Amino acid sequence: MAVERRTDFGPPHYEKYLPPIIKENYGKWKYHEILKPGVMVHVSESGDKLYTVRASSGRLLSIDKIRIYADLADKYCGGYLRFTSRHNVEFLLTDSANIDPLVADLQKMGHPVGGIGNAITSIVHTQGWVHCHSAATDASGIVKAVMDDLIEYFDGTTKLPGKLRIALACCLNMCGAVHCSDIAILGIHRRPPKVNHETLKKQCEIPNVVSACPTAAIRPAIVDGNQSVEVIEENCMFCANCYTVCPSMPLNDPLNDGVSIWVGGKVSNARTEPMFSKLAIPFIPNNPPRWPEVTDAVRKLVELWAANAHNHERMGEWIQRIGWPKFFKMADIPFQKEHIDDFKHAGLTFKRSTHLTF
Amino acid sequence: MAVERRTDFGPPHYEKYLPPIIKENYGKWKYHEILKPGVMVHVSESGDKLYTVRASSGRLLSIDKIRIYADLADKYCGGYLRFTSRHNVEFLLTDSANIDPLVADLQKMGHPVGGIGNAITSIVHTQGWVHCHSAATDASGIVKAVMDDLIEYFDGTTKLPGKLRIALACCLNMCGAVHCSDIAILGIHRRPPKVNHETLKKQCEIPNVVSACPTAAIRPAIVDGNQSVEVIEENCMFCANCYTVCPSMPLNDPLNDGVSIWVGGKVSNARTEPMFSKLAIPFIPNNPPRWPEVTDAVRKLVELWAANAHNHERMGEWIQRIGWPKFFKMADIPFQKEHIDDFKHAGLTFKRSTHLTF
Amino acid sequence: MAETTYKTPLLDELEKGAWPSFVKEIKMAAKRSPMANDLLGQLEQSYQEKIGHWKHGGIVGVMGYGGGVIGRYSDLSEKYPGVSHFHTMRINQPAGWFYTSEALRSLCDVWERHGSGLTNMHGSTGDIVFLGTRTEELEPIFEELAKLDFDIGGSGSDLRTPSCCNGMARCEWACYDTMQACYQLTQDFQDELHRPAFPYKFKFKFSGCPNDCVASIARSDMSFIGTWRDDIQMDQSEVKKYVDGGLDIQKDVIDRCPGKCMEWNGKELSIENSFCVKCMHCINVMPKALRPGKDRGCTILIGSKAPIVEGAQLSSVLVPFMKLEPPYTEIKDLIERIWDVWCEEGKNRERVGEFIQRVGLGNFLEAIEVEPVPEMVAHPRENPYVFYEEYYEDDDGEEEEEA
Amino acid sequence: MAETTYKTPLLDELEKGAWPSFVKEIKMAAKRSPMANDLLGQLEQSYQEKIGHWKHGGIVGVMGYGGGVIGRYSDLSEKYPGVSHFHTMRINQPAGWFYTSEALRSLCDVWERHGSGLTNMHGSTGDIVFLGTRTEELEPIFEELAKLDFDIGGSGSDLRTPSCCNGMARCEWACYDTMQACYQLTQDFQDELHRPAFPYKFKFKFSGCPNDCVASIARSDMSFIGTWRDDIQMDQSEVKKYVDGGLDIQKDVIDRCPGKCMEWNGKELSIENSFCVKCMHCINVMPKALRPGKDRGCTILIGSKAPIVEGAQLSSVLVPFMKLEPPYTEIKDLIERIWDVWCEEGKNRERVGEFIQRVGLGNFLEAIEVEPVPEMVAHPRENPYVFYEEYYEDDDGEEEEEA
Ligand code: SRM
Ligand code: SRM
Ligand code: SRM
Ligand code: SRM
Ligand code: SF4
Ligand code: SF4
Ligand code: SF4
Ligand code: SF4
Ligand code: SF4
Ligand code: SF4
Ligand code: SF4
Ligand code: SF4
């Protein structure tokens, strides 16, 4: 008989990977200070100091690059490093003399150091054309183009009033959880699913397909003798939930796919409660490889916010203070029908007071 | 041939009823001052002064009382008077010497003078058992009992931090528009309609009845050979919309009807945007003639607000500042399932942050 | 007339106390009116039994009018014949609820001759409410009222009796002439007021400033609320007097300003008016020192209503700013476009606010030919479910119009 | 291995610029891996055509596990055979994403042997993502990973790989031990993580304080966010230093405090802690001077998710305050009660947040045996549509239980 296969052992225990200084000061950190862009120190009650150098990883990493990280970690910090919740890489140093050489090495290899404090940090993003079947746009490409353009705000060259979080999701599934970002770049379809009537009955359960549609745009139908479904096109708002449950209903369409831009979301409870992002620019066509209209639009938004926000005022807090009418005017974005919510709770987004500025 | 009957001539022109001082200063008022409880003066750019004495009318007035008002108006102010949007009567004087005698006369006849400025003014209310078929409680009786109890806040004996508006509606139709009141007293049914299967088919259109129900609690049924409807009782939330469209579905029920108390609504745009009232006390049984549990509950709420609110802070603004958990604790009201919204937009009333106090 | 004298031990309890007693009023009226007397009897029984005794209303009215009367019948009419019919008449009040003693007396006289002698001054929509009469009295009442120039108000699925705050007549803050606007639109829409032809009721209310003293934002399908576009008028010396008089201007005014746009340097108040949201608070607190600006008009909002059926709504901004002045052409055109669309596509018993939510504000605006502006929303959409209306076809690359 | 060298003029544009280039990474990997090479070719084609070339995923996995692998096939597999299979493996990251160089290297070695050599460090749920391999490699990879103690993460309708901020390991504000809690609950719910048996996915995220550095309130069905109940710890001399150092304490701290509970008298800062909503702002601005209180624990919130289908949600308060400490019995019991109810009554593809909205939070609380508290709501209900559950019967006067 075979040896029983080991399963369900779970992830390795994190303690294995903690540097000694962390083990010793676990739960005993007292305060931190930002020393320069991308570099901070945490000071323990014991007086111990832990230096962190943060660099952009790009997220999509080859094993070659990871091995280089490992080498750097060995060289400067006993082999200890981590990644952040926004996919940056962080080196954990105890010797402050190692900071500058490490930073220099990272910069040399094209991994800018920064993203700490009042800065723009890495864009949380998703798969796009690199791996996902649902993508209405590419993820890595836009992210690269946008961050190339915004690098001054990552590496500390240009100061900002507060943190600004950008996220990208390549379709409405929003794996990048862009719904609560200062600026969100969201891939969108704009053409209803093209039903493949020949494969549908085989690949999909018709009742599931019908019930998948939040706007009841799908109904069963016999087409060319096939049991299939039809889409009432004017009821479709391109969520692609039908496609998720049924491969025979693709929405991907080069002519109509593109991105929308959303602003003013946040996650932290700092000052204001967490907020959803709101629609700013309904549609920008895909324009690979560098999506110049998207990088322009994002830069304009960043600059507008940077020039006008108070200290520690996130994008959404700033807009809340000045009001959306002023925002649309200052951002020079035409306000359109698309901006007005018409989903289930739409009525609650209407302006139900006379608190207006002129 | 008969003379053509005059119709559609509309209300009389208001100018006929304006005192000369108003005609002369129409649109030219400069400022006003509150002289004492229930008495204010408006000063015109011309220097003219118009004194207003406001008294509670009670709203349900006999022609005898109206004639007495008319006499008072003749005696003190050239026959000019008006009623307010909250059903108080206002006498419009030009001679300040007439103020005190008028106030004395009004008080003598049981019509307290007050309600101006930071005070409780008359309760906007509805018909109740005096005239309406839908009433889950009486209107005038509760209003009388509550205002007897709160008279000190109307006549200026006890000062308040701001305006406090109470309203009463005897059923969910909310003719008293209680949905935006600092304190709202709302008649509620708590027993599903008792269907009169014999009359239903004759009196009502079954499809209308079925579609009248917002929670789909009604379905067509044959009962004892009659075409009728049945009510899925656990889906009924007692809105009585079915009864409005169909007399054969009464909800009135002495054992289960009563009132609920709502707090924190406002209409004005002053400072904060208008707000809906929120449920404070889910149910108090009808206890005529003086509804002591209701008067107690209202007084407690008024006192709590009065003792704790800042200047110009309406009930809802105060609660917003301290938070609902503190409100429930201070008001000593148990928080129950009933307080949690479960209608269409319920999810938007949940606490979606960690902004809590302990 | 032979009349029962009812024992009313419960109601008698409501003659006590400082507040005016409706029981006393009914008793006063009962001295002369058997209807009022029987109301007393029936009401006492309701108090005993904790239930009303009115039947579901029937349709009654005056000739040529479809609204203005609420039919009401007792379910104890044998016991209380005086209230076997007990209909309500809604009489359109004069704008601002101003009266002369003479006008009131003549109304009382009509009501003494033909009804219970009981009224509401006023109903919560704003009408003079004549409380309790018989079907056969309706026409004579109307005839007599007509002679006094008093017409009937609305009820049913029609325009309801509009109402307004006293505005320019007695308030320094009125930003447009509420009483004139209310009067004029009432006159111009008499047919809509008297002949129910809408999907459901429709209410106008006119408030002269954002204090909204007729609760228009909460209680009318179309709310006209005065406001201004330029700077708040300030008299610095009067500001100073308030402060010297004990006003804590920082705490009670500046810290409460929703625009966060005021500053007090110990001597002068300054306001960054481009951030002022016209809330009225500072003006309310210092009426001698501050006044609304001079470029005045109103914000028009749409859709408020009580909860039945889809939940209560406050009105929402439709026109951020409009001068509301005679001959009111622009606003009347707008109203008619709204009614056209709503009458065409609204469901039975669907208030305009519910209708807008069902069809979508964007679509509604297109139908009534109003451009969307950001002032209409608290914020743009949060969900990505956008009904983009056009797409390109693969074959020809041309934009195609959908829906 | 015979390999095409693709011309990638469009992708090459993305090698330029200051940000790390994913194209460079793919090219680096392509040197060794035909899979990565064909990915490059297919991606260039996507860039030319503005469309992805992946087929709808199929179900693939490792023995005994129902999740953790996302099947992926090219729709151009003849042209790009290297990506005919291009499955993703989700590897459960160590809590807090801490590694040693050695651990990373051994992961790389596994992936060099069996996959494209491309990864995401990390996926947006938090997993180590191995990007691109063939079905037949899955089992060998798992075997090798197991030797390294790395297990697979979640996918499909199961518990997804939990993640946490670095908490006590490197942050002075952690109010509970996020890494321990994350690790322990992950271990304790291995079965739920590996064998999809829920109505839909379910995510845990752990943040040590209300700054919420893993976005748990926006991205997890159950959000654990550290907080405290007592007073903020203050060091007045450090406060003074910040002010002396140029901090505008009034404008940048006090005026921005949502609890409106701070005062600065020029020398000392005072906080009315009973009004502090634990937002972290003042602490964030003055980390040397202020610290969270000492009575620490966490707020547990439930239900956040992306928009599909009912619209996006943030998590809402379920437990205002709980000590989150070993052996985590109380929280595990609660989680199990929640899963029981949701598994029993949730519809297919209904996230727990949607489920709660459908059945009503009150009913949900009853089912999971949690008492309602006002902290759970932003405000009590505004609509009067209350499902009172009991009424008296006329005949016997006894209270009857409904529903
Ligand atoms: C390393 C990381 C946690 C981890 O375990 O990986 C982290 C670490 C720290 N965060 Fe964070 N945050 C991290 C993601 C987040 C996120 C999540 C996200 O962005 O997806 C948030 C919520 C963002 C949002 O609200 O949309 C977040 C909101 C904060 C805030 C609140 C900022 C605000 O004003 O809203 C602070 C406080 C501050 O910076 O003043 C904070 C503060 C900090 C401190 C200062 C905490 C400390 O004392 O160690 C750490 C370094 C600060 C910095 O990056 O500026 N961290 N922080 C994450 C780094 C991400 C990155 O690579 O850039
Ligand atoms: C006479 C009347 C208008 C009318 O045409 O009939 C009126 C008249 C005045 N109102 Fe009003 N309001 C009147 C109903 C209202 C209403 C409507 C209601 O209560 O149903 C509101 C909205 C209430 C709400 O928000 O729920 C209202 C909200 C205000 C406010 C804002 C108060 C606030 O802080 O929220 C002010 C400003 C103030 O008092 O500081 C105000 C101020 C005033 C002033 C001072 C305006 C002026 O300069 O003449 C008038 C006398 C003040 C007073 O009563 O204290 N009036 N006022 C109404 C008297 C009702 C009564 O008999 O008590
Ligand atoms: C008389 C009056 C109450 C009062 O004592 O003041 C009243 C009385 C009735 N209202 Fe009302 N409503 C009265 C003002 C209101 C208001 C307040 C307002 O207009 O400012 C509202 C809330 C605002 C609104 O329009 O939403 C109001 C919202 C309702 C509703 C719910 C409408 C909704 O869309 O939610 C109904 C139910 C219906 O229409 O079927 C209703 C229905 C009724 C009916 C006709 C009962 C029925 O189910 O058919 C009541 C007749 C009572 C009777 O026998 O006398 N009444 N009703 C008010 C009219 C007097 C007047 O003309 O001046
Ligand atoms: C790989 C990853 C994106 C990434 O590049 O990082 C991802 C990729 C996919 N997600 Fe996701 N999701 C990923 C994190 C998320 C997140 C973020 C999070 O967990 O913090 C969300 C938003 C939060 C949430 O759970 O709501 C997310 C919300 C979705 C949804 C929408 C779920 C909803 O209830 O609204 C779907 C659609 C579905 O489940 O059918 C989805 C579906 C998918 C599928 C499986 C596509 C599908 O339709 O079946 C994607 C496979 C892509 C591929 O081929 O590689 N993915 N997905 C992330 C997982 C990596 C990891 O394990 O670390
Ligand atoms: S956001 Fe959409 S397209 Fe992008 S990875 Fe997620 S499911 Fe795929
Ligand atoms: S994309 Fe969404 S809205 Fe359109 S048919 Fe599919 S499920 Fe319905
Ligand atoms: S609130 Fe209800 S019971 Fe009262 S008058 Fe209006 S419809 Fe009648
Ligand atoms: S009272 Fe309301 S919820 Fe109950 S059956 Fe009638 S319409 Fe439905
Ligand atoms: S709404 Fe404004 S203008 Fe009208 S009475 Fe009230 S305060 Fe005066
Ligand atoms: S009107 Fe209101 S918003 Fe404008 S300055 Fe005065 S208080 Fe501020
Ligand atoms: S969530 Fe709080 S405890 Fe965790 S890393 Fe961020 S700031 Fe520190
Ligand atoms: S944590 Fe936030 S709410 Fe509490 S005192 Fe500091 S700033 Fe105010």
Tell me the per-residue pLDDT of D70-99, one tens digit each, with 9 for 90 and over: 999 999 999 999 999 999 999 999 999 999
pLDDT, tens only, A267-290: 999 999 999 999 999 999 999 999
Residues of C within 8 A of A342 (CB-CB) are 360-363, 381, 385, 387
C-alpha C23/C-alpha C12 separation (Å) is 7
Q: Find the mean pLDDT for residues C71-85.
A: 97
A352: nearest CB among B274, B345, B353: B274
pLDDT, tens only, C324-352: 999 999 999 999 999 999 999 999 999 99
pLDDT recorded at residue A1: 45
D354 phi, psi to nearest 5 deg = -70, -40
Q: How big is the CA angle at D181 (ends D179 and D183), to the nearest 5 degrees?
A: 65
B274:A345 CB<8 A: no
Residues of A within 8 A of D52 (CB-CB) are 128-129, 132-135, 252
B339:D380 CB<8 A: yes
**Atom in ligand 5 nearest the alpha carbon of residue D52:** 3
Q: Does C397 touch chain D (CB under 8 A)?
A: no
pLDDT recorded at residue D395: 59
Tell me how far the alpha carbon of residue D221 lies from the centroid of ligand 5, in angstroms: 19
Strand segments (E) across D2-152: 54-55, 69-70, 73-74, 87-91, 98-100, 118-121, 128-133
pLDDT recorded at residue D382: 98
A311: nearest CB among D47, D252, D288: D252
pLDDT recorded at residue D403: 39
Q: Does the CA dihedral C374-C380-C384-C386 come out positive or negative?
A: negative
**Atom in ligand 7 nearest the alpha carbon of residue B169:** 1
Q: Find the mean pLDDT for residues B276-281.
A: 98
pLDDT recorded at residue D401: 47
Question: For residue A210, is pLDDT > 50?
Answer: yes
Query: What's the whole-number average pLDDT of chain D?
Result: 96
Q: Which amino acid is at B217?
A: A
Neighbour tally for B220: CB within 10 Å: 12
C-alpha D81/C-alpha D72 separation (Å) is 13
**Atom in ligand 7 nearest the alpha carbon of residue B126:** 5
Ligand 4 neighbours, Cβ below 6 Å, are A 126-127, 131-132, 134, 173-175, 177, 244; D 57, 70, 72, 88, 90, 120, 122-127, 129, 153, 161, 201, 203, 219, 305-308, 351
pLDDT, tens only, A226-252: 999 999 999 999 999 999 999 999 999
Q: Give the distance from CA B15 to its chain's centroid.
A: 29
Task: Give pLDDT < 70 ranges for chain D.
Answer: 1-2, 395-403
Q: Which residues pair with C70 in a beta bridge?
A: C88
Ordered strands of the A258-263 beta sheet: A166-169, A183-188, A258-263, A278-285
C-alpha D182/C-alpha D163 separation (Å) is 6
Residue with CA closest to ligand 12 atom 2: D279
The single residue listed with the structure tokens 């109010």 is D175
C-alpha torsion angle, residues C275, C279, C280, C281 (rounded to 10): -90
C-alpha B151/C-alpha B167 separation (Å) is 15
Residue A172 in tokens: 């409405």
Question: For residue A11, is pLDDT > 90?
Answer: yes
Tell me how far the alpha carbon of residue C270 lies from the centroid of ligand 9, in angstroms: 24
Q: Is C205 in the pocket of ligand 3 (CB under 6 A)?
A: no
**Total residues belonging to chain C:** 403
C-alpha A249/C-alpha D14 separation (Å) is 32
A354:C363 CB<8 A: no
Q: Find the mean pLDDT for residues C9-28.
A: 98
Judged by CB atoms within 8 Å, which residues 179-238 of D form the interface with B? 210, 212, 217, 225, 227, 229-230
Cβ-in-10-Å burial (0-12, 13-18, 19+) of A30 comes to: middle
Question: For residue C401, is pLDDT > 80?
Answer: no
Residue with CA closest to ligand 2 atom 9: C213
Q: Is D291 in the pocket of ligand 1 (CB under 6 A)?
A: no
D312: nearest CB among A57, A125, A179: A179
Higher pLDDT, C369 or C393: C369
Chains that touch D (3 or more CB pairs under 8 A): A, B, C
Question: For residue C400, is pLDDT > 60?
Answer: no
B348:A345 CB<8 A: yes
pLDDT, tens only, A61-116: 999 999 999 999 999 999 999 999 999 999 999 999 999 999 999 999 999 999 99
Question: For residue B116, is pLDDT > 80?
Answer: yes
B349:D403 CB<8 A: no
Predicted TM-score (pTM) of the model is 0.97
Q: Find the mean pLDDT for residues C263-276.
A: 97
pLDDT recorded at residue B176: 81
C-alpha B128/C-alpha B110 separation (Å) is 23
3-state secondary structure chain B: CCCCCCCCCCCCCHHHHCCHHHHHHCCCEEEEEEEECCEEEEEECCCCEEEEEEECCCCEEEHHHHHHHHHHHHHHHCCEEEECCCCCEEEEECCHHHHHHHHHHHHHCCCCECCCCCCECCCECCCHHHCCCCCCCCCHHHHHHHHHHHHHHHCCCCCCCCCECEEEECCCCCCCCHHHCCEEEEEECCCCCCCCHHHHHHHCCHHHHHHHCCCCCEEEEEECCEEEEEECHHHCCCCCHHHHHCCCCCCCCCCCCEEEEEECCECCCCCCCCECCEEEEEEEECCCCCCHHHHHHHHHHHHHHHHHCCCCCCHHHHHHHHCHHHHHHHHCCCCCHHHCCCCCCHHHHECCCCCCCC
pLDDT recorded at residue D76: 97
Q: Find the mean pLDDT for residues A246-265.
A: 97
Q: Is A111 in the pocket of ligand 1 (CB under 6 A)?
A: no
Minimum CA–CA partner of B276 in chain D: D382
Tell me how far the alpha carbon of residue C259 lies from the centroid of ligand 10, in angstroms: 6
pLDDT recorded at residue C59: 86
**Atom in ligand 6 nearest the alpha carbon of residue A212:** 7
C397: pLDDT confidence band, cut at 50, 70 and 90? very low
**What are the counts of helices (DSSP H) followed by strands (DSSP E) for chain D?**
14, 18
Using DSSP's 3-state secondary structure scheme, residue A136 falls into coil
Q: Is A115 left (phi over 0), alpha (psi -120 to 50) or beta?
A: left
Helices A63-77 + D22-30 axis angle, to 10: 110
Q: Does C394 touch chain D (CB under 8 A)?
A: no
Q: How far is CA C68 from CA C61, C156, C161, in A?
A: 7, 8, 9
C-alpha A318/C-alpha C31 separation (Å) is 67
Minimum CA–CA partner of D309 in chain C: C385
Q: Is B38 in the pocket of ligand 8 (CB under 6 A)?
A: no
Query: What's the whole-number average pLDDT of chain B?
Result: 97
Query: What's the whole-number average pLDDT of chain C?
Result: 96
C279: nearest CB among A186, A215, A355: A355
Q: Cis ω on the peptide bond leading into residue A247 (within 30° of 0)?
A: no
B237:D321 CB<8 A: no
Q: Find the mean pLDDT for residues B262-283.
A: 98
> How are beta strands A166-169 and C290-291 bridged, if at all?
unpaired
Residue C346 in tokens: 């609204």
**Total residues belonging to chain A:** 358
Residue with CA closest to ligand 10 atom 2: C279
Contact B196, B204 (CB under 8 A): no
Q: Find the mean pLDDT for residues C45-62.
A: 94
**Atom in ligand 9 nearest the alpha carbon of residue C225:** 1
pLDDT, tens only, B284-315: 999 999 999 999 999 999 999 999 999 999 99
pLDDT recorded at residue A2: 53
Q: Which residues pair with D74 in a beta bridge?
A: D54
B31:C100 CB<8 A: no
Tell me how far the alpha carbon of residue C235 lies from the centroid of ligand 10, in angstroms: 15
Q: Is B171 in the pocket of ligand 8 (CB under 6 A)?
A: no
Question: For residue C19, is pLDDT > 60?
Answer: yes
3-state secondary structure D210-261: CCCCCCHHHHCCEEEEEEECCCCEECHHHHHHHHHCCCCHHHHHHHHCCCCC
| Sequence-separated (6 or more) residues with CB below 8 Å from residue A211 | none
